[in-house]
Amino acid sequence: MSQFLITGQTKLKGELPVNGAKNCALKIAAASLLSAEPMTISNFPEIEDTERLLEILRDLGCKCIRQKPHDYKIIPPQRIKKDLNHDLVRKLRASILLVGPMLARFGKVSMAHPGGCLIGKRPIDLFITSFKALGAKVTTTATCNIFTAPLGLTGCRIVFPKISVTATETLMLAATLAKGKTTLVNAACEPEIPALAEYLNRMGAKINGAGTPNIEIIGVKKIAGGHFENIPDRIEAGSFIILAAATKSHLKITHCNPEHLEIPLNILKDLGVKLKVGKDYIEVFPTAKLKAAQIATHEYPGFPTDIQAPMTVLLTQATGESIMRENIFEGRLIYTDILNRMGANIKLDNPQQISINGPTPLHAKEVESPDIRAGIAILIAALLAKGKTTINNIYQIDRGYERIEERLAAIGVQIKRV
């Protein structure tokens, strides 16, 4: 298993360009199955998760061609294999996005139970209930779920009891080719959703209200294939802004969309972080003293759960007692043990809340990367720590951050992949 070796406390300066959004690229690639025509995608991040999805699409019979770096063409097959590769599905929970288009277009798909991960059990009850509401039959065996809709899907009103990003996206994809109207109530509002809907509408779909809690989809017979320019990754941008603030560096985070980070940026300013916000960049200036804060994760446009771990690292350097409350996932605070081993002073008040007392100097340790976002958080902690930190299991970081050691080395980080 490869590792990162990082020497902390080096001076960092320069520009950090942000990649295309992982959590948009995965959805748009899944949407390629809705059409019989090819689709091209630019600003496509080349990371483990997107590679896994392309592997699944190839396994189904799609041609996925890398035309040039970050630029892909996906040619869907006329006839498609109906089973999603079980081993690959276990590596990528987002594979569930494929069930919507495959059910709507081909009438059948079987999918292994998606692996849970460290941040929670990740159930798919919202998907199963919603597909049944659209007229699909779902058979659950010990190893997989088989979804069938031989007569196609019929639109209806779907009220989500919980806000789910991929359930909103997957059902929006399925409803695009269903008969009649589908209304999604209590839908997620993440920016990746209107980006997906805008593309589908350009290809002939009829979707209104994406980006709001109420989305209305009028089913169409088919949609065309076309080009999608991926949006910037707001979570990568947020991770890098926090990296700059935590290391008290002057860094410019470029190729991002600050509008997607309004609440996190306001929270950082309240902490005392000095920022200059441009149209497609955010410049961070060294801040001597950070104030403690009380932060709670929330669905968009609230504070994103995906930057909860990096923000916790920043709060270890804030003066006083901070509170971080994780409201989205039941298991997304366990990485804090690793930070405490590095010298942080974090207490678990209850499974959903921690208190962080700072500032605490951090020191190098041999640690592991539990999941994507805790992984980047631990990498940021290693940049603050005195000495050389070893991070194991860096596949988790590579799942969401492309060539991260090259991009960090370019701003002065001493990091080696071994």
Q: Closest separation between CB of residue 404 and ligand EPZ, Å?
A: 14
Contact between 239 and ligand EPZ per CB under 6 A: no
Residue of 48, 216, 233, 306 interacting with ligand EPZ (CB under 6 A): 306
Q: Which is nearer to ligand EPZ, 68 or 121 (CB)?
A: 121
Contact between 189 and ligand EPZ per CB under 6 A: no
Residue of 111, 328, 376, 411 interacting with ligand EPZ (CB under 6 A): 328
Q: Closest separation between CB of residue 358 and ligand EPZ, Å?
A: 25
**Phi, psi angles (nearest 5°) of residue 168:** -60, -50
CB 232 within 8 A of CB 20: yes
Q: Which of 129, 134, 185, 177 is nearest to 155 (CA)?
A: 134
Q: Which of 64, 117, 144, 256 is catalytic?
A: 117
Q: Which of 198, 266, 236 is nearest to 373 (CA)?
A: 236
Q: What is the DSSP letter of 114?
A: P
Taking residues 353 to 372 in sequence order and writing x for each that binds ligand EPZ by CB under 6 A, - otherwise, the string is -------------------x
Piece in contact with ligand EPZ (CB under 6 A), picked from 119-127, 201-209, 310-318, 347-355: 119-127
For the question of residue 117 being annotated catalytic, the response is yes
Contact between 373 and ligand EPZ per CB under 6 A: yes
Q: Long-range pairs for 207-212 at CB < 8 Å and ≥24 separation?
A: 207/172, 207/176, 210/172, 212/187
Strand order in the sheet with 71-75: 63-68, 71-75, 39-42, 227-229
CB 139 within 8 A of CB 185: no
Q: Is the peptide bond before 301 cis (omega within 30 degrees of 0)?
A: yes
**Phi, psi angles (nearest 5°) of residue 231:** -85, 160
Contact between 116 and ligand EPZ per CB under 6 A: no
Q: Which of 299, 297, 300 is nearest to 312 (CA)?
A: 297
Q: Give, as ranges, the residues between 72 and 101 that touch ligand EPZ (CB under 6 A).
A: 94
Q: Which is nearer to ligand EPZ, 8 or 264 (CB)?
A: 264
Q: Closest separation between CB of residue 22 and ligand EPZ, Å?
A: 6
Q: Which is nearer to ligand EPZ, 8 or 191 (CB)?
A: 191
CA distances from 175 to 23, 172, 206 (A): 20, 5, 10
Taking residues 145 to 184 in sequence order and writing x for each that binds ligand EPZ by CB under 6 A, - otherwise, the string is -----------------x-xxxx-----------------
Contact between 48 and ligand EPZ per CB under 6 A: no
Three-state DSSP at 353 gives: strand
Strand order in the sheet with 4-7: 366-368, 388-392, 4-7, 414-417
Piece in contact with ligand EPZ (CB under 6 A), picked from 50-58, 123-131, 210-218, 315-323: 123-131
For 236, counting Cβ atoms within 10 Å of its Cβ (0-12 exposed, 13-18 middle, 19+ buried), the class is buried
Q: Which is nearer to ligand EPZ, 125 or 229 (CB)?
A: 125
Residue of 247, 305, 369, 389 interacting with ligand EPZ (CB under 6 A): 305
Catalytic residue numbers read 117
Binding site for ligand EPZ (CB under 6 A): 22-23, 26, 94, 120, 122-127, 162, 164-167, 305-306, 328-329, 372-373, 400
